[in-house]
Amino acid sequence: MEKYPDDKPSLVKNQAHDVVDDPMEGKALPVRAFSKPWLRDILLTVETSGIRRVTEDQRRQNTSKVWNACTFWMSANMAVATLNVGSLGGSLGLSFWDCFAIIVVVNVFSCMIPAWTAGFGLTGLRMTSFSRYSFGYWGNLLVVVFSMVSTTGWNAVNSISGASVLTALSDGKCPTWLGVVIICTTVWVICALGIHWIHHLDAFLWIPPFVVWCFTAGFGSSHFSGDAIKTPSGANGAAASLSYIAVIFSFAVSWINCAADYNVRMPVNTSRARIFIATYVGIAVPTILVQTLGAALYTSTEINPHWKLAFKEDGIGGPLKLALEPAGGFGKFLLVLAGLSAIPNNIPNNYSFAMHAQNFGPWAARIPRIFLVTLGFIVAVIVGACAAEFFNDTLQTFLSIIGYWTIIHLTVVAEEHIIFRAHRWSRYNLDAWNQPDLLPFGWAAIGAFGFGFMGAALGMKTAWYTAPIARLIGSKGANIGHELTFAFSALTFPVFRYLEKRYGGK
């Protein structure tokens, strides 16, 4: 047995069988693949471990750094989908300054939530696996199903946002469905390589779209107007504001289901406070800046009929194209970068889809991660391509409903950690994460889930349904489903969990 003289001391050449043994993964790789140093480096950093808990010893290889948490989320949120979300306030009838106030205030507080859950990754467990301690082994299937649906839906919406820019750039020659395929395929390649390569690429992927938004603000500022839209007063103004608050809040907290997944390779002694700060900056800063630009960009459609027509035909890609038009060929190059900003935006969705799926049970954990990443890619392409042509409005409504689920997920995990575990990590038996006999069944979480969605059903406002309580605010109603979802689930889970521990013993 002869060790390779490089920075991978755990890899051992087995001359008898012409393979390289990787003790950490328990697999043998053909030695021919290691004849080229650059190819060897790529193959050795392709992730194959799935949802197995990452131990302290394993974190010494391909270790993630705290700054990775910042650049990863900076790249994910410096995207055209963020621009799109910011523009929704104007379409609800809010003035730019009202949108700006909501964007800043809501994001300052709501971005703290995924930043807090990001620290859970130091357990070595992905968020969907960690949820078993609060949802129970079997109740956690709700987390698995809704997380997979949520990531697929966001994957589609984010791809459509980027594809709309490519469509506008090509004057329709690149249809939206083709743009979705281009974006999703690139995301699939990066996610197939795994977390090591994701962190390497995301260290730089936030820079091109940041440059795009700077030029957009510069060239388009003469077309923006803070007075283009007058917010309705009274109950109607309150209704529009509440609905926009729900949109901004949902976008920020949508990362809760996967924020921990990208920190599992950090050393166990990493400061949770540093992870919180890095994640918070990575999410809050680009989100506030780009959403504000989106709100400003929409105002141009209210004072210029040409811009309004462009928005109607190509979505946010239309006015974005017009804003960069004075830059000529360089402006077209910037539009390409804007459209491709959907790639890092979708990496968390496609990568975590596989991690969610492996939590269905032992049989699912044995499915290779690359296969599940490919499955997520195929589903995202199908849903995104169809949604772009037929039911985009319905999909947006559907994702709003998924946002209610995120509130329940957060509430149950947070109350379990704070109330029943006294905020002490020592009260978790981390070796029991995949042992049903050592985990609760999940009756408490299932009950809180049911009551939470009851609250959503009373307060939601969608394109096809306005709930009874939502109808009471303004002439068209207001979305207060998130507030009622939180209230119903937060009040019921502690009661159900107390009974589950008393009579179930776990």
Residue 472 neighbours by CB under 8 Å, 6+ apart = none
Residue 206 neighbours by CB under 8 Å, 6+ apart = 71, 74, 75, 78, 286, 344
Could you tell me which residues are beta bridge partners of residue 27? 22
Burial of 15 (0-12, 13-18, 19+ CB in 10 A): exposed
Q: With 80 as the cut, is the pLDDT of residue 391 above it?
A: no
Q: Are 75 and 205 in contact (CB under 8 A)?
A: yes
pLDDT of residue 283: 96
pLDDT of residue 399: 61
pLDDT of residue 450: 93
pLDDT of residue 10: 38
Return d(Cα 106, Cα 111) in angstroms, integer.
8
Q: Are 213 and 196 in contact (CB under 8 A)?
A: no
Return d(Cα 349, Cα 377) in angstroms, integer.
10
Strand order in the sheet with 12-14: 2-3, 12-14, 19-22, 27-30
Q: Are 151 and 356 in contact (CB under 8 A)?
A: yes
Return the percentage of the chain with pLDDT > 70, whole number. Answer: 87
Residue 18 neighbours by CB under 8 Å, 6+ apart = 30, 31, 32
Could you tell me which residues are beta bridge partners of residue 198? none
Q: For residue 382, give the amino acid letter.
A: I
| DSSP reduced 3-state for 183 | helix
Return d(Cα 255, Cα 239) in angstroms, integer.
26
Average pLDDT over residues 46-67: 79
Q: With 60 as the cut, is the pLDDT of residue 470 above it?
A: yes
Place 496 in a pLDDT band, splitting at 50, 70 and 90. very high
DSSP string, 69-82: HHHHHHHHHSSHHH
Place 115 in a pLDDT band, splitting at 50, 70 and 90. very high
State pLDDT tens for residues 326-339: 998 999 999 999 99
The pTM of this model reads 0.86
Q: What are the domain boundaries of the chain?
A: 2-44, 64-388
State pLDDT tens for residues 93-106: 899 999 999 999 99
**What tokens does 334 get?**
């910037």
Name the DSSP class of 14. E
Angle (CA) 279-157-300 rounded to 5° is: 90
**pLDDT mean across residues, the chain:** 84
Residue 34 neighbours by CB under 8 Å, 6+ apart = 4, 20, 40, 43
The half-sphere exposure of 339 on its side-chain side, counting CA atoms within 13 A, is 31
Name the DSSP class of 403. H
Average pLDDT over residues 232-247: 84
| DSSP reduced 3-state for 410 | helix
- 64-388, what's its fold? Amino acid/polyamine transporter I (1.20.1740)
State pLDDT tens for residues 145-186: 999 988 888 888 889 888 889 988 888 888 888 999 999 999
pLDDT of residue 39: 47
Q: For residue 364, give the amino acid letter.
A: A
Q: With 60 as the cut, is the pLDDT of residue 244 above it?
A: yes
Return d(Cα 257, Cα 407) in angstroms, integer.
10
The half-sphere exposure of 395 on its side-chain side, counting CA atoms within 13 A, is 24
Return the percentage of the chain with pLDDT > 90, whole number. Answer: 44
Q: With 50 as the cut, is the pLDDT of residue 25 above it?
A: no
Residue 328 neighbours by CB under 8 Å, 6+ apart = none
Q: Are 474 and 238 in contact (CB under 8 A)?
A: yes
Return d(Cα 376, Cα 349) in angstroms, integer.
9
Please say whether the dihedral angle defined by the alpha carbons of residues 285, 340, 353 and 390, taken in this order, is positive or negative: positive
Token pair 């997920």: residue: 409
Average pLDDT over residues 245-273: 90
Least confident of 224-228, 308-312, 452-456: 224-228
Place 26 in a pLDDT band, splitting at 50, 70 and 90. very low
Question: Which of 82-86, 191-195, 224-228, 388-392 reaches the highest mean pLDDT?
Answer: 82-86
Return d(Cα 54, Cα 77) in angstroms, integer.
27
Cα distances (angstroms) measured from residue 357 to each of 128, 242, 373, 376, 495:
9, 34, 9, 9, 30
Q: With 70 as the cut, is the pLDDT of residue 1 above it?
A: no
Q: With 80 as the cut, is the pLDDT of residue 475 above it?
A: no
**What tokens does 250 get?**
């949902």
Q: With 80 as the cut, is the pLDDT of residue 16 above it?
A: no
pLDDT of residue 193: 86
Closest CA to 354 of 47, 97, 64: 47
Distance of CA 382 to the CA centre of its chain: 19
Q: With 70 as the cut, is the pLDDT of residue 267 above it?
A: yes
Distance of CA 381 to the CA centre of its chain: 17
Place 143 in a pLDDT band, splitting at 50, 70 and 90. very high
State pLDDT tens for residues 393-447: 555 566 667 778 899 999 999 999 999 998 888 899 998 999 998 999 999 999 9
Return d(Cα 432, Cα 164) in angstroms, integer.
46
pLDDT of residue 211: 95
Q: With 80 as the cut, is the pLDDT of residue 373 above it?
A: yes
| DSSP reduced 3-state for 131 | coil
